[in-house]
Structure 1
Amino acid sequence: MPEVARSFDGPRARVRAYAKLNLWLRILGTRPDGYHEIETVFSTVSLGDDVEAILTTEPGVRVEMRAADGLVGVLPSGTDNTLTMAARHLDDRTGAGRPTLVRVIKRIAIGAGLAGGSADAAGALVALGDLWDTGLSRSELAEIGLKVGMDVPYCLTGGTALATARGERLTPLAARGAMWFVLGMARYPLYSKAVYDTWDRLEATSGPRVGPMVDALEAGDVRVVASLLHNDLERAALAMRPGLAADKQRLLDAGALGASLSGSGPTIFGLAADEAHAASIAEAVAGDFAAVVVVASLPRSIEPLG
């Protein structure tokens, strides 16, 4: 948990909350509760938002967001954001809420398929849980996070994991070694509900089984991993935004070992052999996307900051 610092502004807790990629995503069907039953492999990557919670004298929980240099897209407005929701649910559970300002430096684009909103909610739960001295464990925070979004429980733990059910049932995977990726960022977002609705209308069929991907990750064979990248939602995202097919091909033409859509998109990522290879790919496609970012896989999704 982050250490609570004390300053003239009041006690505070600060964390970095990292993005995720979907190396694999298979849709098994629609559940009676309206959600989709999925099977996906998440990987935390080194693009993160800074979330800082500070005790204040003003009532309630206020959120201030600032875009980092190079952020693509727009920031959430008003109180309709995952941080405010996370704070409210945490207070409902514990009754520990105190007047707090939550400051966020956004580097993860909204509506990009990178779980930027879920990462922020997870970061807020960790920082506020510590600042408010709730004493809740990560598993208890995950129960609260599930009320905010299906990806939030994963974003509280991170690493490489197989997620099933609605995405909340997590099995850690023993991925061997760091992987390097190039993210091709689009200027305009795609939102999960719209992409899933399109998938339903297309009556798309589900892809192959996840077993070979799990084996490749545990063996640390990046070339096999690259050959197995898969996302059932890619067909739906391409139907909504046909230009994504050319974006994917640009990464492959630049030398990526494999490429895929992350989540519901529109971010397309390429898998590289190593850091130098990733840098070379990024340079080659720099003019083809709204932004290009080189990231590495990480073993955790929340990092305490001093």
Structure 2
Amino acid sequence: MITTLQGKAFGKINIGLDVLRKRTDGYHDVKMIMQTVSLYDRITITRTSKSSSIALETNLSFLPSNENNIVYKAAKLIKDEFGIKDGLSIKLEKHIPVAAGMAGGSTDAAAALEMLNTMYVLNLSKEELMKRALKLGADVPYCVLKGTALSEGIGEKLTPLKPLMPCFILIVKPPVYVSTKFVYENLKIDQLKSHPDIDGIVTAIEAGELETMSRKMENVLETVTEKNYPVISSIKETMIQQGAISSLMSGSGPTVFGIFESEEKINQAASFFKTAHPSFRTYVTKPVNST
């Protein structure tokens, strides 16, 4: 019997992001390319004798540790469905920036589902886990799938793609808070001058053409976020100056990433950002494939 389990919850970036329309239910139909990166949170789950309780603690004091936390919700979902009587102690060690366009909460929830599936030998397939994941949020099914994927609908329709070509991904998050709700509410879909060539990005990935993929990267949410936070445009420009093939904002921001072919160049760029902008959070990462 497994009493303690430790796991990694990997972050994601959007290699391309298009918003097609606002739906009658208030959500938006999107078409985007998701990619898992090697920056991760660490989760430890331990069975306890405190019947039915879920005790969640995290290294960030401002995060909720009750039913308002998505990891708590994931644990409760599994406990309720499968009648698990044990108490659970969950330790969440955050490294992925919070509210940064990297699915930090969603990936933690996905990891909790996977870990409880293993701990209690529930034998749920990846598809069965993804169905439950959707109850927790639109990005959570992708975080169960991982790797490189085309995401459509509200983010729940997922098509796995060939793994991304070997490369290095520099992630930089400036110290600003961006509300996803604000970005979507202020997006003028009918006024967009262009839409990303998502199909072209898919073709480039399938053909293993890193440079073509990078040149086609586009995110329509930048039209809102960059206007309100010019620092995002500045980071993108600096990424290119520092040797990135291309640079883009992930999700609704404010995180920006750059694609690099050379480890030497990405390390130089990371050093530049850490020295010139010590208040920014800077990470050297790689693509992570689906498991």
Q: Do they fold alike, i.e. is TM over 0.5?
A: yes
Q: Give the aligned partner of residue 281 of structure 2.
A: 291
- Look up the SS of the partner of 1:78 in the other structure: coil
How far apart in 1 are the matches of 2:45 and 2:163? 33
Q: Deviations over 1:96-151 (max 9, x none)?
A: 35200011111101101000000100011111222233332221121111111111
Alignment coverage as a number of residue pairs? 287
Q: Is the 8 A contact 1:97 1:132 kept in 2?
A: no
What is the TM-score normalised by the length of structure 2?
A: 0.92
Counterpart check, 1:241 vs 2:229: yes
How far apart in 1 are the matches of 2:113 and 2:184? 27
Deviation, 1:176, is 5.0
Counterpart check, 1:31 vs 2:18: no
How far apart in 2 are the matches of 1:165 and 1:14? 32
How far apart in 2 are the matches of 1:13 and 1:21? 27
Q: Give the aligned partner of residue 61 of structure 1.
A: 54
Q: Give the aligned partner of residue 43 of structure 1.
A: 35
How far apart in 1 are the matches of 2:78 and 2:115? 11
How far apart in 2 are the matches of 1:204 and 1:77? 37
- Look up the SS of the partner of 1:92 in the other structure: helix
Counterpart check, 1:169 vs 2:157: yes
Equivalence map 1:220-235=2 (5 Å)? 220-235=208-223
Equivalence map 1:134-213=2 (5 Å)? 134-200=122-188, 203-204=191-192, 207-213=195-201
How far apart in 2 are the matches of 1:91 and 1:240? 42
Deviation, 1:45, is 0.4
Distance 1:141 1:280, change over 3 A: same
Distance 1:12 1:125, change over 3 A: same
Q: Is the 8 A contact 1:251 1:285 kept in 2?
A: no
How far apart in 2 are the matches of 1:290 and 1:57? 42
How far apart in 1 are the matches of 2:24 and 2:257? 32
Structure 2: unaligned runs, 5 residues or longer? none
- Look up the SS of the partner of 2:186 in the other structure: helix
Counterpart check, 1:217 vs 2:205: yes
Distance 1:208 1:102, change over 3 A: same
How far apart in 2 are the matches of 1:167 and 1:43? 13
Q: Give the aligned partner of residue 280 of structure 1.
A: 268
Distance 1:255 1:220, change over 3 A: same
Deviation, 1:189, is 2.8
Equivalence map 1:104-119=2 (5 Å)? 104-119=92-107
Deviation, 1:94, is 2.4
How far apart in 1 are the matches of 2:201 and 2:285? 20
Q: Give the aligned partner of residue 8 of structure 1.
A: none
How far apart in 1 are the matches of 2:163 and 2:88? 38
Structure 1: unaligned runs, 5 residues or longer? 6-10, 68-73, 302-306
What is the TM-score normalised by the length of structure 1?
A: 0.88
Deviation, 1:179, is 2.3
How far apart in 1 are the matches of 2:62 and 2:45? 18
Q: Quick one: percent identity of the two aligned structures?
A: 30
Q: Give the aligned partner of residue 44 of structure 2.
A: 52
Q: CA RMSD in A?
A: 2.0
- Look up the SS of the partner of 1:298 in the other structure: coil
Distance 1:63 1:161, change over 3 A: same
How far apart in 1 are the matches of 2:142 and 2:204? 21
Q: Is the 8 A contact 1:53 1:103 kept in 2?
A: yes
How far apart in 1 are the matches of 2:284 and 2:62? 22
How far apart in 2 are the matches of 1:257 and 1:115? 24
